[in-house]
Amino acid sequence: MAINPNNSLKARHISYCGASGAGKTVAVKCLALVGDCAALFDPYGDYKLSRLKKLSGLGNGRIVHHYHTRRGFLKAFTEAWASGKKFAVAYQPQIAEDKLRAEAIWFAQVVWAAADGKRELHAVFEELGRYVESSGAERSKIGEIVTGGRKFGLIGHYVFQRPSEVPKTILGNCAEYVVGAQQAMIDVRRWVDELDCSIDEIASLDRLNTDRHKHFLHKKGGIRNYKLIEIRF
């Protein structure tokens, strides 16, 4: 059970959105927005060591340890969290697509149970669109992290391709948005509304991108508080 509620903590949840290949996973790895203690739900194993040094692990090369079973992940996560040291552990269940949501909710419950208002715990939900049910309310623990996790030190990182496939509970409660190249006008319009930027600013992201150079609009709390950022790797 989450302990030590601290109402002075601010909501710091972050959404990362862009078409496939826009660089969302690269952004989670390289922007260093994920803090020292991190649990990841990583259905594709995207955070396993990769061949590019900069993209290995999380935040300047921190190794992400992967576990394929609930038991393995739970043990590693519990020990890492109790150690008081930096860590990044990922749960990559090996199960059928239709069971993915249940595993994601279990992961969220584990994170919630560990939460402590005296310490920050970051929870990354990769490929969110694969295991949320609608763009309506998200009433599971996945949603509760974003609505109620703030005072328990939880910071959710939600990674998805299209805003239209993500619950409004999550989209509406993030304090930061990392918006990459989009694939559909309806999605562009959603982000134009959120950022109060121009259609052209979003459309230009795809034109600027190359294989190893990705661009995003990064909005931090506050109206119109966004800027163009880039990652080279």
Residues at the site binding ligand ATP, with contacts judged by CB under 6 A = 18, 20-26, 50-52, 55, 161, 211
Interacting partner of 23 out of ligand ATP, Mg ion, none (Cβ under 5 to 8 A depending on kind): ligand ATP
Interacting partner of 52 out of Mg ion, ligand ATP, none (Cβ under 5 to 8 A depending on kind): ligand ATP
The least distance separating ligand ATP from the CB of residue 25, rounded to whole angstroms, comes to 3
Compare residues 139 and 212 and give the one whose CB is closer to ligand ATP: 212
83, two tokens: 């150690």
Chain position whose Cβ is nearest to Mg ion: 25
Interacting partner of 161 out of Mg ion, ligand ATP, none (Cβ under 5 to 8 A depending on kind): ligand ATP
- Provide the sign of the torsion angle of the four alpha carbons 141, 146, 151, 156, taken in this order: positive
The least distance separating Mg ion from the CB of residue 24, rounded to whole angstroms, comes to 5
Kindly tell me which residue out of 2, 12, 17, 25 binds Mg ion, with binding defined by CB under 5 A: 25
Compare residues 111 and 179 and give the one whose CB is closer to ligand ATP: 179
The least distance separating ligand ATP from the CB of residue 18, rounded to whole angstroms, comes to 5
**C-alpha separations of 191 from 54, 197, 202 in Å:** 28, 8, 8
Q: Build a one-symbol-per-residue string for 165-204: x at contacts with Mg ion by CB under 5 A, - elsewhere.
A: ----------------------------------------
First to last CA, the chain: 40
Interacting partner of 43 out of Mg ion, ligand ATP, none (Cβ under 5 to 8 A depending on kind): none
**C-alpha separations of 102 from 94, 132, 140, 158 in Å:** 13, 10, 10, 17
The least distance separating Mg ion from the CB of residue 46, rounded to whole angstroms, comes to 5
Residues β-bridged to residue 158: 15, 125
Torsional class of 110: left (φ above 0), alpha (ψ -120 to 50), beta (otherwise): alpha
Compare residues 21 and 72 and give the one whose CB is closer to ligand ATP: 21
Interacting partner of 76 out of Mg ion, ligand ATP, none (Cβ under 5 to 8 A depending on kind): none
Compare residues 153 and 163 and give the one whose CB is closer to ligand ATP: 163
Write b or e for each residue in 9-33: b if 16 or more Cβ atoms lie within 10 A of its Cβ, otherwise e. bebbbbbbbbbebbbbbbbbbbbeb
d(CA 125, CA 127): 7
158, two tokens: 């939600």
The least distance separating ligand ATP from the CB of residue 105, rounded to whole angstroms, comes to 21
User: Which spans in the chain are helix H?
Assistant: 24-30, 70-83, 100-114, 141-148, 168-171, 185-195, 199-208
Binding footprint of Mg ion on the chain (CB under 5 A): 24-25
